[in-house]
């Protein structure tokens, strides 16, 4: 899948603020208030059902962020959205810098060793305190490879859909 049509997880609705439908959110954008620049938001309101929301207003409040979604004008309506993930279309995000990647762009890449041994495909990534980790599955096994460019990750070719890693296939 190309970047077009992909969604990027940018935050989560984590609570209520006041009685007029305002929501507390977590943002994973940098800076965190940039999440308000990327609209429309896509929210999963039911299994397999996404809604798009535009016209979102938000601001910092204390140590967090709060926002108002058009049409969500009561505490009851807002409460139904708590826990929802906030996605935006990948094409709304700025291009990454040199040797930088959005995780969503790495998902699905074929992963091979420097010797050409196929290890599987990237299913997802996760962050640790030290570095990000690429999860690679081949149907039989799962490998966790540190995403450290130059050491373990030798090259990433998004056009070819391939990541080359310096990794022991038996590990």
Q: What mean pLDDT comes out for the span 114-133? A: 95
- Let me know: does 154 contact 114? Beta carbons within 8 Å: yes
Per cent of the chain over pLDDT 90 is 87
Domains and CATH numbers, the chain: 7-92 (2.40.30.60), 103-165 (2.30.30.240)
Residues 17, 24: Cα–Cα separation, whole Å: 6
Mean residue pLDDT across the chain: 94
Strands of 48-90, DSSP E = 49-53, 57-61, 64-68, 85-89
- Top-confidence residue, 104 or 46: 104
| pLDDT tens by residue, 8-43 | 999 999 999 999 999 999 999 989 999 999 999 999
Given a cut of 90, whether residue 60 has pLDDT beyond it is yes
Q: Band the pLDDT of 83: cuts 50, 70, 90.
A: very high
């Amino acid at each position: 899948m190309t970047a077009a049509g992909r969604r990027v997880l940018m935050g989560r609705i984590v609570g209520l603020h006041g009685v007029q439908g305002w929501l507390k959110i977590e943002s994973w954008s940098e800076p965190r208030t940039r999440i308000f620049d990327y609209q429309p938001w896509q929210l999963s309101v039911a299994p397999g059902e996404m809604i798009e929301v535009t016209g979102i207003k938000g601001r910092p409040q204390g140590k967090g962020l709060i926002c108002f979604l058009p049409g969500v004008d009561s505490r009851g309506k807002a409460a139904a959205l708590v826990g929802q993930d906030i996605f935006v279309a990948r094409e709304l995000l700025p291009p990454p810098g040199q040797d930088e990647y959005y995780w969503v762009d790495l998902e699905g890449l074929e992963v091979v060793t420097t010797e050409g041994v196929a290890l599987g495909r990237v299913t997802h990534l996760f962050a640790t305190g030290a570095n990000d980790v690429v999860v690679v599955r081949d149907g039989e096994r799962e490998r966790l490879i540190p995403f450290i460019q130059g050491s373990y990750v030798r090259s990433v070719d998004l056009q070819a859909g391939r990541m080359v890693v310096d990794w022991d296939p038996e590990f």
